[in-house]
Structure 1
Amino acid sequence: MVRTWGKRVVCAAIATTGVVCAMAAPAGADLAAPPGLDFARALGTPNLPGIYGPDTAVVVLGYGLTPEGTMREELVRRLRAGLAQAVFAPLSPIIVTGGNPQAGLSEADAMADWLLAAGIDESRIIREPEADSTVANARNTAAMLAERGLHSVVLVTSEDHMARARGAFADAGVHVVGDLTPDRAQWDSVPLHIGRFGPGPTA
């Protein structure tokens, strides 16, 4: 079981960089490299997500929805970066924070729905649907961390928002151990769906 789970984590993690995880091909098979991927370059980038344990939460900050309650492209880009980080840290809970509801839907609920559709297990997702600013994102997240005994976070937001977000979370007493932005990661190949992954049945 441990070996199977380990393989699933590795496959899922590799999938976020665009590599197809497949069974070994028969000897003599004509193998072609997956299209659109420079795996060596992906491994060499300093912008790979970090590997963290269950005491560190991945925190994805919201971005204003359209009046119809749909997500703007920048929020989808943040979620893709958050998905990559979630795969590399499969034991970390994921906090989606953002209020400002449109058409009856908060940013947090829209983000959670996207993550569920992408294959993240619902038990990992913590919704914070009240924040109406970066300061509120930080303050409300700090309260959730304290309630759950979590000790640190990895922030996921846009590059031009990161400095302000880090400052707000520091002011709220949150220990930020890392961050990831879609601007630095530039992983347009991160899939919209990675399949279900996470610890499977022990039997």
Structure 2
Amino acid sequence: MLRWNWRNTVVCAAIAATGLAPAPAPAAAQHLSPPGMDFARVLGTPALPGIYGPETAVVVLGYGLTPEGTMRDELVARLRAGLTQAVFAPLSPIIVTGGNPQAGLSEADAMADWLTAAGIDPTRILREPEADSTVANARNTAAMLSERGLRSVVLVTSDDHIDRARSTFAAAGITVVGDLTPGRALWSSVPLHIGGFGPARPAL
């Protein structure tokens, strides 16, 4: 049986507005995957960002900065995927987690600056600038979630890191309801601007 709801409509309208894909009619919707089966992850195909509310945080994991304190391409790719997810879930806070400072700048601070330049409201961004490993990312994020009454997260990291990140966050007691990686966010490499909604990606 085909199912269609407002979330499907919003996602398809948003994708269509970017010019990346036409909006299908409800009758053209694909059938839902069996519970627990994420075919996009299994097949490595592009995935739609999820639509979440204010109780779910988008968590972007850091990646080592250069000695000069600039971001490497890998971290910029994570941020582009994170920006895509953030636009599709405008009520979700964004946690940027990563320490390892270089030239006086932590990974979290560099990521927050990039997102702010992209048009994200700075008050929406929560910085976690102490973590020096995936385990610390998870532990420190768990503390932030507890302090703010947040219940779940969407993880954003590299394709070759996502499985380890998911298991590490789960071991820290965090409910991971979704994930997005650069390799599965096909549209993360193009400017993202949906009419008057959502930020334009900076040329970084």
Q: Give the shorter-chain TM-score range.
A: 0.7 to 0.9
The residue that corresponds to 1:157 in the other structure is 157
Rounded Cα–Cα distance in structure 2 between residues aligned with 1:192 and 1:102:
29
Residue 39 and residue 64 in structure 1: after superposition, are their counterparts in 2 closer, same or farther (change >3 A)?
farther
Q: Which has the higher mean CA deviation after the structures are superposed, 43-52 or 178-187?
A: 43-52
Structure 1: runs of 5 or more not aligned: 1-9, 21-33, 199-203
- Residue equivalent to 1:115: 115
The answer as to 2:91 corresponding to 1:91 is yes
**Is the Cα–Cα contact under 8 Å of residues 47 and 185 in structure 1 kept in the other structure?**
yes
Partner of 1:175: 175
Confirm whether residue 73 of structure 1 aligns to residue 67 of structure 2: no
Contact 1:119 1:197 survives alignment (8 Å): no
Structure 1 counterpart SS, 2:65: coil
Partner Cα distance (2:16, 2:137) in 1:
31
**Match for residue 201 of structure 1?**
none
Superposition deviation, residue 186 in structure 1:
2.3
Report the Cα offset of residue 191 of structure 1.
1.9
Question: What SS is found at the alignment partner of 1:154?
Answer: strand
2:192 and 2:50 mapped to 1: Cα distance?
20
- Is the 8 Å Cα contact of residues 80 and 189 (structure 2) preserved in structure 1? no
Q: Does the 8 A contact of 1:120 with 1:197 survive in 2?
A: no
Given that 1:59 and 1:95 are in contact with CA atoms closer than 8 Å, whether structure 2 keeps it comes out as yes
> Which letter does structure 2 place at the counterpart of 1:63?
Y
Contact 2:62–2:107 under 8 Å retained in 1:
yes
Q: 1:52 aligns to what?
A: 52
Deviation at 1:184, TM superposition (A): 1.1
Cα RMSD for the two superposed structures: 2.6
By how many angstroms is 1:110 displaced?
Answer: 0.3
8 Å Cα contact 1:120-1:196 kept in structure 2: no
CA displacement at 1:100 relative to structure 2: 0.4
Q: Deviations over 1:54-106 (max 9, x none)?
A: 00000000001011100011111100110011011000000000000011000
Which protein has greater RCO, CA pairs closer than 8 Å, 6+ apart?
Answer: 1
How far apart, CA to CA, are the structure 2 residues paired with 1:40 and 1:194?
14
Partner-residue secondary structure (3-state), 1:160: coil
Amino acid at match of 2:130: E
1:46 is displaced (CA, Å) by 5.8
Task: Give, in whole Å, the separation in 2 of the partners of 1:194 and 1:106.
Answer: 31
**Percent same amino acid at aligned positions?**
79
Asked if residue 129 in structure 1 is aligned to residue 129 in structure 2, the reply is yes
Distance, in Å, in 1 between the alignment partners of 2:117 and 2:195 is: 9
